[in-house]
Amino acid sequence: MNKNIKIAIGIGVVGLVGAGAYFFIKKKGKKPFSVNNEVDIVAEGISEVNNPTDPNFDPKPSALNLYKAMKGLWTNESLIWNTLDPLDSQKRLEVKNYFDANYGKGEDLIEWFKDDLSGADLKKALAYYGKNNK
């Protein structure tokens, strides 16, 4: 095998390992979600707790849904939208504040969105909070 080819393969492998390590470190402390728990939380959170007309709104279940949707190696976009779509802007702000204080681990919800979402999903999430994509 040609020396240049060996070097190129070595660089590629090092790059992949580095990218994997970066991704792992970036997600440190965020455990993968459980599908069974996710379904239970979505059903409970959307139908009972996150009703935007409820005067006794509790942001905790919604913040927990967002945390579970973004922790670990994969992002559950449908859980994010099932949680945020039914809420008005005031309730979304309450959820953000609760998330930042209880689940953010030093980062706010917007930073979590930027780490976990991209494209149209990121643009939609940021728009919910009056932010642009920068």
- Tens digit of pLDDT for each residue in 32-64? 443 344 433 443 444 344 444 567 899 999 999
Angle at 71 between CA 66 and CA 36, to 5 degrees: 75
Label each residue of the chain as H, E or C.
CCHHHHHHHHHHHHHHHHHHHHHHHHCCCCCCCCHHHHHHHHHHHHHHHCCCCCCCCCCHHHHHHHHHHHCCCCCCHHHHHHHHCCCCHHHHHHHHHHHHHHCCCCCCHHHHHHHHCCHHHHHHHHHHCCCCCC
Confidence of residue 4 (pLDDT cuts 50, 70, 90): confident
Quick one: 123 and 91 in the same domain? yes
Quick one: 80 and 53 in the same domain? yes
Question: According to the model, what pLDDT value does residue 2 have?
Answer: 74
Confidence of residue 134 (pLDDT cuts 50, 70, 90): low
Any idea which of 12-21, 69-78, 79-88, 121-130 has the lowest mean pLDDT? Answer: 12-21
49 or 14, which is more confident? 14
Question: According to the model, what pLDDT value does residue 119 have?
Answer: 94
Q: What mean pLDDT is predicted for residues 100-125?
A: 94
Answer yes or no: is 109 within a domain.
yes
Q: How many angstroms separate the first and last alpha carbons of the chain? A: 45
Quick one: 36 and 101 in the same domain? yes
Quick one: 16 and 42 in the same domain? no
Question: According to the model, what pLDDT value does residue 67 have?
Answer: 96
Answer yes or no: is 134 within a domain.
no
pLDDT in tens, 66-90: 999 999 889 999 999 999 999 999 9
Give me the domain span that covers residue 83: 31-128
